[in-house]
Amino acid sequence: MTPNTNQTLGEFIIEHEKAFKYTSGELSRLINSIRLAAKVVNHEVNKAGLVDITGKAGDTNIQGEDQQKLDVYANNRFIETLINREIVCGIASEENDDYITIQGQNKAHDNKYVVLMDPLDGSSNIDVNVSVGTIFSIYRRKSPIGEPVEIDDFLQPGNQQVAAGYIIYGTSTMLVYTTGHGVNGFTLNPAIGTYYLSHPDMKFPDDGNIYSINEGNYVHFPQGVKDYIKYCQEECEEENRPYTSRYIGSLVSDFHRNMIKGGIYMYPNTAKAKNGKLRLLYECNPMAFIAEQAGGEASDGYQRILDINPTELHQRVPFFCGSKKMVEKAEEFMAKAKSK
């Protein structure tokens, strides 16, 4: 399909609104709010190095990780934008200990959606001018409309998502999202502040030759992961191996590259992080939804990510995501090692 670079994100949302089974317009307004907040964060990211926005903020988040100044800034901007527009009834963020109940003047408890987000994925790369991103996930609430949100509104399996997406702040800024009808990417024209459809109907190649993993943790990986890495590195002309190792350290960036070129991203459990490091609700579920909508797969090594029932807000899981054949092959090695 030829990119319709004359179609804006706003026009695209309106045009495709009827394809969504809930046509009240709230979801469209919610996506538009995320678009607005992303533009504000993008402006600040682009000033890194010129103003005092890089480095540590001096606090740690619920995971015990040092918060970067831009982590805090991005978190505040997204929360403020969503609250001020009174579109959602609750927000959960990787940077906050607990979820936020929104009590607006105009009956915010009547709103239907909750948002879960990683406001600035890969923020440790900011100081060295490497691409970072924002990840978001949207669900319909389970609690009665008109009442404050409850924890169960956020602890839903990923297969209940109504929309998910990410913004990548790179050489160009892109917003990529799905509402369950394929994946589309929009590139920001910074001159006029408008996103244009640049990557329609994005798809993972069925197979690829890129594997993305922090091999510095190799000695701590499960045996199945070690065996799969060896497989990736072995020479096999018929299968186009050895594969190429590419790891940026920003989930959004690694995922985005692999979706375009074909590859697998892996963050397994290790001897140090027995449940993995990535968060199920803020990172794995939204990226898994996007991956499946783009023809890829996402797994914890043994089961589909989107079928996992969350038990806590900041739950961590191992994550294998990317081209279908590569994820399936990694699962083969995991199953074989587990059976020994």
pLDDT band at 174 (very low <50, low <70, confident <90, very high): very high
* Residue % of the chain over a pLDDT of 90: 67
Q: Is 247 annotated as a binding residue?
A: yes
CA pair distance 27, 87, nearest whole angstrom: 8
Would the annotation count 121 as a binding residue? yes
Mean pLDDT to the nearest integer, 85-89? 86
State the amino acid at position 240 in one-letter form: N
Q: What is the dihedral of CA 5, 9, 13, 15, to 10 degrees?
A: -30
What CA–CA distance (Å, rounded) separates 183 from 202? 5
**Beta partners for 163?**
138
Band the pLDDT of 21: cuts 50, 70, 90.
low
- pLDDT for the residue 200: 96
CATH code matching the domain that covers 210-339, chosen among 3.40.1000.10, 3.40.190.80, 2.60.120.10, 1.10.287.610: 3.40.190.80
Count of Cβ atoms closer than 10 Å to residue 237 Cβ: 6
Residue-level pLDDT at 52: 44
- Which residue spans within 61-112 are E strands per DSSP? 66-68, 88-93, 100-101
- Is 33 part of any known ligand binding site? no
275 SS3 class: coil
pLDDT-based confidence at 35, cuts 50/70/90?
very high
Q: Residue 307 annotated as binding?
A: no
Give the pLDDT of residue 67: 62
Consult the annotation and say whether 207 binds a ligand.
Answer: no
State the burial class of residue 167 (Cβ atoms within 10 Å of its Cβ: 0-12, 13-18, 19+).
buried
pLDDT for residue 16 is more than 60: yes
Q: Which residues pair with 169 in a beta bridge?
A: 132, 173
Q: Does the annotation list 69 as a binding residue?
A: no
Task: Write down the CATH number for the domain with range 9-199.
Answer: 3.30.540.10
What band does 262 get if pLDDT is binned at 50, 70 and 90? Answer: very high
Residue-range domain boundaries for the chain: 9-199, 210-339
Mean pLDDT value across residues 73-100: 92
CA 196 remoteness from chain centre: 20
Q: Is residue 120 marked as binding?
A: yes
The per-residue pLDDT for 265 is: 98
| pLDDT, tens digit (0-9, with 9 covering 90-100), for 324-334 | 999 999 999 99
Q: Is the pLDDT of residue 99 over 80?
A: yes
Query: Which pair of structure tokens corresponds to residue 23?
Result: 């046509």
> At a CB cut-off of 8 Å and minimum separation 6, what does 184 contact?
12, 176, 177, 178, 197, 199, 200, 201, 202
Residue 277 annotated in ligand binding: yes
The helix (run of H) or strand (run of E) holding residue 118 is: strand 113-121
Instruction: Provide the pLDDT for residue 163.
Output: 95
